[in-house]
Structure 1
């Protein structure tokens, strides 16, 4: 009795495909039935079923790239062809890599390399009926963020990937290193990280709270350095740095990061984070700004992100405020003290 031969045309075509990971649906599109695919995956056969509905078209262990492709195919999301640079992808996606695998793709030195990871976290909508299996850990979310494309793979934004990684980590040192690298490496701003950690309800964990305090301090230092660079690179008058303002013999008005007393212009870095007491912080910040402006002092709020992404534009905003000082009524006299 002879076995019915498998169709040579589609299998020969697949053998020359540069991607050697395909889903059952993709195989069907190439004319390979489920029975034919199963026959190829018999012991000693040329293929293997790596995940439910996902086939590895060679018998050896998968590469890191193949594991990523397989994880996304399992979540019913076909990876696109590699692109030379990161670029925004269309918003309608089914899944994306997140957690430590995403951080490895972003080349975080403090994240394990892809071959060292036993699991690949894949972010999917909460409504998807998927379960974790094999090397894939399913992470659910009410709303998928807009991913980036890194080496041809849909990857969650850094802040979201960090939150998903931190959710699986109990080591305070590792968490602190990851968060610090995110800020020092310019991957994202501290506020974005804290927002994601808060949304994931991770700010109740003491080791995460300690790491966030370090992160916010790191972010403020970097923002201050960029503010110094802005003043000196764009020829702005030298201000008084990091001072407290008070009324003569009166109450404390608040601290500012830079102050030009001859122009009555102050700059304040908006490094507030979206933590649980944010409403209180916002009210205090608003009260201080309104009080200073009632005294004739112009307050320019600048976020760390604007300093990072649009330094020249922010210098124009400050210069405009300084130039407009001559058109305003004289400001009230305030006492300036070191902070």
Structure 2
């Protein structure tokens, strides 16, 4: 019997299940289809056409589950109240989200390596090679890990993303859950690097999740984060160069230090337009640092420069990625407004 074989030999109450598109159902869903516990037990006898693959979750064919079936079985096991009946049908369009109101999973998201694979990470293993599928549930859920379903608890669930009809944790959270069980420094570095280089998220969001998961006490994670932050800064600088070029801004001097003549160091800047006394600094603060202290340092530098008549524009890597044109407009406006300001104090510009 293969995956699509009709259940023509089944008793009358089971025949209609041949039309169920997703061949993974819970006890409650089978009951909603008119299948009694006795019928289920009979179908799951040794050598029978069905099998129980997780507590209360049944596979309606005898072969090994596909990767999609393992994902949905994990979610059905972990979900608070799976919706019986039609809501278990797969979307008609590959990659489409579940129709509004049809999502059968409540309080359960795929996370960890399985989620990263669904997000398209090439450095994450194929789904079928994963011995465990991590599923994120609220902390107070009374569930235990079993079979291929591994329960990961959280005080509050993040907003899910849907990939091929499967609710998936956002990349930063999925990364933190994946890294929790990885001792291979190379694997951790590859995942974190792909997250940033592939445009999935910004370094700050990854570091924030790793900090909350208390993973920054592990030396191999700290080393990977240092590489991640360097990678993220290089990408942000490249985007800043591209913004100036693509939106026709005048060329600044890049990566400079400012000093008062014969006086103190005023701070480093990523871009500076001396004639207009306008500066751009990338805000690449890492959440693992003391944000209040670091922001105070940013604020002191900004206030000092602005007292000297220099306008400072702070841009985050995320804004450069998601709203480059808007950031170019902000910088252009600052450059144009320089004509209406008092001339800035003379400062010495040095390469950084």
The TM tier, using the shorter chain, reads over 0.9
Are 1:36 and 2:45 an aligned pair?
A: no
Q: Is the 8 A contact 1:80 1:153 kept in 2?
A: no
Tell me how far apart the structure 2 counterparts of residues 84 and 299 of structure 1 sit (CA, whole Å): 47
The 3-state SS of whatever aligns with 1:94 is coil
Is 1:181 the counterpart of 2:181? The answer is no
Distance 2:164 2:223 in 1: 33
CA distance in 2, matches of 1:97, 1:296: 52
Gaps of 5+ in 2: 1-8, 83-87
Residues 139 and 153 in structure 2, CA contact (< 8 A), matched pair in contact too:
yes
In the alignment, is residue 96 of structure 1 matched against residue 109 of structure 2?
yes
2:30 maps to what in 1?
27
| Residue of structure 1 in register with 2:223 after alignment | 210
Asked whether 1:194 is paired with 2:203, we answer no
SS at match of 2:189: helix
Following superposition of structure 1 onto structure 2, how do residues 136-285 of structure 1 map, counting pairs within 5 Å?
136-285=149-298
Question: What does residue 132 of structure 2 align with?
Answer: 119
Instruction: Output the TM-score relative to the length of structure 2.
Output: 0.91
Q: Separation in 1 of the partners of 2:33 and 2:329?
A: 58
- Aligned partner (choices 48, 70, 93) of residue 67 of structure 1: 70
Shift of 1:59: 0.7
Residue pair 1:307, 1:314 contacting (<8 A) in 2 also: yes
Per-residue deviation, 1:86:
7.0
Deviates more, 1:70-79 or 1:37-46: 70-79
2:73, 2:106 → 1: CA distance?
16
Where does structure 1 lack aligned partners over 5 or more consecutive residues? 1-5
Q: What do residues 115-173 of structure 1 show as CA deviations (whole Å, max 9, x unaligned)?
A: 11000000000010000000011000000000100011000000000000000001111
CA contact (8 A) 1:87 1:148 kept: no
Equivalent-residue separation in structure 1 for 2:221 and 2:279 (angstroms): 34
8 Å CA contact retained: 1:241, 1:259:
yes
| Paired residues for 1:287-306 under 5 Å | 287-306=300-319
- Structure 2 partner of 1:3: none
CA distance 1:303–1:202, change in 2 (3 Å): same
Partner of 1:49: 52
TM-score scaled to structure 1, two decimals? 0.94
Deviates more, 1:55-64 or 1:83-92: 83-92
Q: Report how far residue 12 of structure 1 moved.
A: 1.3
Q: Is the 8 A contact 1:86 1:148 kept in 2?
A: no
Contact 1:80/1:152 (8 A) holds in 2? no
Aligned residues: 334
* Paired residues of 2:97 and 2:164 also in contact (CA < 8 A): no
Cα gap change, 1:10/1:242 in structure 2, threshold over 3 Å: closer, same or farther? farther
